[in-house]
Amino acid sequence: MFDSPSENRLVPSRRSVLGAGAILTALGAGLFSVPGISQARQARARERVEALIGQMTIVEKAGQLNILGDPFRFRPQNVNPLDGQGNPGRITQMIRDGHVGNLFNGVGAEAGRRIQQIAVEESRLKIPLLFAADIIHGVYTVFPVPLAEASAFDTDLAERTARAAALEGAVSAIHQTFAPMVDVARDQRWGRVVEGAGEDVHLNNLLAAARVRGFQGNKGLADRDALLATPKHFAAYSAAIGGMDYNSTDMSDVTLRSTYLPPFQAAFEAGALSTMSAFNDLNGVPTSGNPYILTDILRDEWGFTGFVVSDYTSDQELIAHGFAE
């Protein structure tokens, strides 16, 4: 069901960012300061969100926070028959029931429009879905992996490749990219070094900002060619003990703030309004349930007004790390 870019002319409304996106964030922090969208329009969106929340059941509120793999637009080889999400009929009914707020890693405008029509015409509250994807180094046009691109030490290049990926993603019915990865990586045993800009903090800062600008464009998120950027993984994911993915991270606050947090600040200052929490625990508390980084630093110190999305099954890692049952 992959359509070529030339066939993807009918893109679901960019209002999804202020529809499903606003509902998601209203339950947390509130995505109400969006570059490129007038204050009057944001005020109307805020009123609409408050009115919708007043009508929602607890299950519908939880549904807006529920993100599932897109079974309608996956490449067949990417569907995992064991993950329980590969049943289009089941997911369709969940959308009608208001149990899904976001689908990810599906590409193609024609199917995207059909899925969106189910949400806005057949569900009780008619809240649009938010479509996201892991756009790491291109959609149809494939660029060098981020680590290779970083070796050029060229912020303009990073911004231009992200802009090209955004254009192809936007015409393929995607609203949000789960990128850039801004983890400073200094342990080469860690298998995800390739997704970032390497070991230098300053280079990570520059490329994080450049890629956010490329994904989101210079006209604001209201523009049809904008993709909401999601710097990841918040935070200190790349410092897992022994380089073992999902493992614990143990570090001082000085190291956290001087090495691993600055690229996120650079990305937020460049306009990113989402971030992804990580799989690891940080000093004994999993990052997806860590009030020190998610509330004290992200919200209270930095004034972040966007929303946090969990990494794939990182909520289940709360159990693996012994933090929840």
Active site residue 311: yes
For 81, the token pair is 């028959």
Could you tell me where the DSSP H helices lie in the chain? 20-26, 39-55, 58-64, 88-96, 109-122, 146-150, 155-170, 201-216, 253-255, 262-269, 291, 317-320
Q: Are strands 285-286 and 307-310 parallel, antiparallel or unpaired?
A: unpaired
d(CA 92, CA 106): 14
d(CA 212, CA 17): 16
Q: How many angstroms separate the Cα of 50 from the Cα of each of 14, 27, 152?
A: 20, 10, 47
Which of 275, 277, 287, 276 has the alpha carbon at shortest distance from 249? 287
d(CA 132, CA 60): 20
8 Å CB contact between 136 and 179: yes
List 70, 156, 311, 315, catalytic entry: 311
Q: How many angstroms separate the Cα of 6 from the Cα of each of 2, 14, 19, 178, 223?
A: 12, 19, 27, 24, 19
> Where in the sequence numbering do the catalytic residues fall?
311
